[in-house]
Chains A and B, each alone.
Chain A
Amino acid sequence: MNLRSDLGRVRGLGSAKSGSHHWMHQRLSAIALIPLALWFVTSLMSHMGDSHGELVDWISSPFVTVLLLALVTSAFYHAKLGLQVVIEDYVHAEMSKMALLVAMKLAVAFGALLGVVAILKISFGMA
C-alpha cells in the first residue's frame, strides 16, 4: 500500500516547477527583440555598402555596441528557448532527444559568446 498522497507523488515532476519560467522568458525575449531586430534590419540596410572602416566606426559608438550586444544575446536566448520546444515536441526517443538538446544548447552558447567577443573586439578598436 502506498501511503504517499497524490500531491506528494506529482510534486516537482511537471511544469508547475519551472514551466512558466520558460514560457515567460520566451515572451520577454520576444518583446525585447521586436525593437532590437527592427533596428538591426533597418541599420543593416543603410550600412550595406560600408567599407570596413565605416562599419567599425559605426559599431564603435557605445549605443550601437550595447544595442548589438543586446540583440545578439536576446536572439540566441530566444533561439535556444524555441529550438528546445521544437526538439522536445518532435524527437521522441529519449537518448536522441537528450543528445540533441545538449548539442543545441552548447552550439547556441558558443554562438552567443562568439558574437559578443566579435562585437567587443570591434568596439574596442582591435579590428
Chain B
Amino acid sequence: MADNPLSPHLQVYRPQLTSVLSITHRGTGVFLSLGTIVMLYWLVSASLGPDAYASMQQCLSSMPIQIVLAGWVFAFYFHLLNGVRHLFWDSGRGFELSTAYKSGYAVMAGALLMSALTWGCVISQGGAA
C-alpha cells in the first residue's frame, strides 16, 4: 500500500476557494473534536462541586485559553454552515461552479459574521466562562 503512487499530488495544484474550504471543513472538524475536551472539563468540573467549578472558571478565563476558545467559536460556525452546504450537495443541488463559489463565499461571510457577533457578546459580558 505505502509503495503505490498516490494521486492527486496536491502540491502541484493552485489552492482554490473550493479546495481550501473543503480541507478547512476537515480541519475544523478535527479541531472541534478536540474542543469536546473543554466541554467535558466544563461539565465534569460542574459535577464535582463549587470548588472545582470555580477553578475551572479561573483556568478558562486565562488569555491563551480565551484565544483558543475564540478560534473554536469560528471553527464551530464554519463547520456548521459548511455542513449545511454539504447537506444541500447531498440532495443533488448547488453543484454548478458559480453556485459552489457563491455558497462558499456565503459560508465564509456567515461564519465571520456569527463569530464576530458571538465574540462581541462575550466581550461585552466581560469574558467567557
Chain A residues engaging chain B, CB cutoff 8 angstroms: 27, 30-31, 34, 37-38, 41, 45, 48-49, 51-53, 55-56, 59, 68, 72, 75-76, 79, 82-83, 86, 92-94, 111, 114-115, 117-119, 121-122, 126-127
Report the Cα distance A127→B46, complex, angstroms: 7
Q: Is B100 close to A, CB under 8 A?
A: no
Stretch at the interface among B14-22, B28-36, B104-112: B28-36
B118 contacts A79, CB within 8 Å?
no
**CB contact under 8 A between A127 and B36, given known A27-B90, A34-B84, A86-B26:** no
B53 contacts A52, CB within 8 Å?
yes
Chain B residues engaging chain A, CB cutoff 8 angstroms: 1-2, 6, 26, 29-30, 32-33, 36-37, 39-40, 43-44, 46-50, 53-54, 73, 76, 80, 83-84, 86-87, 90, 118, 121-122, 125-129
A114 contacts B44, CB within 8 Å?
yes
Residue in contact with B54 in the complex, picked from A52, A111, A114, CB distance below 8 Å: A52
Say how far A101's CB is from chain B's closest CB, in angstroms.
Answer: 14
A48 contacts B87, CB within 8 Å?
no
Residues of A contacting B: mostly: helix
**CB contact under 8 A between A56 and B46, given known A83-B33, A92-B1, A111-B36:** yes
B84 contacts A55, CB within 8 Å?
no
Closest-by-CB residue of A relative to B34 is A79
A52 contacts B26, CB within 8 Å?
no
A38 contacts B80, CB within 8 Å?
yes
A115 contacts B76, CB within 8 Å?
no
Q: Which residues of B contact A121 (CB under 8 A)?
A: 47
B30 contacts A111, CB within 8 Å?
no
Contacts A27-B87, A94-B1, A115-B43 known; list 8 others, CB within 8 Å: A34-B84, A45-B122, A52-B50, A68-B43, A72-B39, A92-B6, A93-B2, A111-B37
Report the Cα distance A75→B76, complex, angstroms: 12
Q: Which residues of B contact A37 (CB under 8 A)?
A: 76, 80
**CB contact under 8 A between A76 and B87, given known A86-B29, A118-B47:** no
Q: Which residues of A contact B44 (CB under 8 A)?
A: 114, 118
Report the Cα distance A58→B101, complex, angstroms: 42
B118 contacts A41, CB within 8 Å?
yes
Report the Cα distance A126→B48, complex, angstroms: 9
